[in-house]
Amino acid sequence: MMNILRVVVVVGIFIFLPVSLSHGASVNLPPERDPVDFRGIKWGTNIDTLSGFTHIGTEKSSNGSGDLDEYRRDDDVLSIGNANVEKIIYQFWQGKFYGVKIIYKDWDPIFRELIAKFGRSYATENEIKSRYRVNTVLRARYVWYGERANVVAQYGDHTCPCIWITSLKVSEEREKTSRSE
């Protein structure tokens, strides 16, 4: 009886431990899909080395990590693949390319493009857990974790129907600076 119990416990560990670890994994983007740039601009590139950008404002930091200067690219094509978008806002922290905020109207085409580009997201693997209702409106958040960049897309009745693609390296620098101040 004791040997059967040991076998069941060992088999359970080998079956359930990898499953639980995979859901807590911090990286789900394979290296070939992990963005090194956005539209040819590498993460961390200084705004002073770029031309064709117009400053449109500053996103104030709510957690003390440093404000983000926001720019639009003068000749930007407002689409991601075959999906049209309203705005693409380039964000820079202390002059370094931090990421983009993409504002869209129609979820279905943008989501198809995200899946084509990045594959299944962590949230799509756990779709039931990632969806929640607020005032009877369905909301969802999809996340792709990489070693160089993270991609976050949300839909529903959010204040911003947005996609964020952000550099992990610049984000870590931003966090370190806020902790040391």
Within-domain flag for 13: no
At 8 the three-state DSSP class reads helix
The domain tally of the chain equals: 1
Determine which of 58-67, 77-86, 131-140 has the lowest per-residue pLDDT on average: 131-140
135-156 average pLDDT score = 80
Query: 92: domain range?
Result: 26-180
Identify the CA nearest to 28 among candidates 103, 113, 124, 108: 124
Burial annotation 53-70 (CB, 10 A radius, 16+ → b, else e): beeeeeeeeeeebbebbb
- This prediction has a pTM of 0.76
List the Cα angle 32/49/85 in 5-degree steps: 55
The pLDDT of residue 43 is above 90: yes
The pLDDT of residue 111 is above 50: yes
Within-domain flag for 16: no
pLDDT in tens, 55-76: 999 998 877 678 999 999 999 9
Say what the pLDDT of residue 103 is.
Answer: 95
113-142 average pLDDT score = 64
Question: pLDDT band at 51, cuts 50/70/90?
Answer: very high
Within-domain flag for 18: no
Within-domain flag for 160: yes
Q: CA 156 to CA 153: how far, in whole Å? A: 11
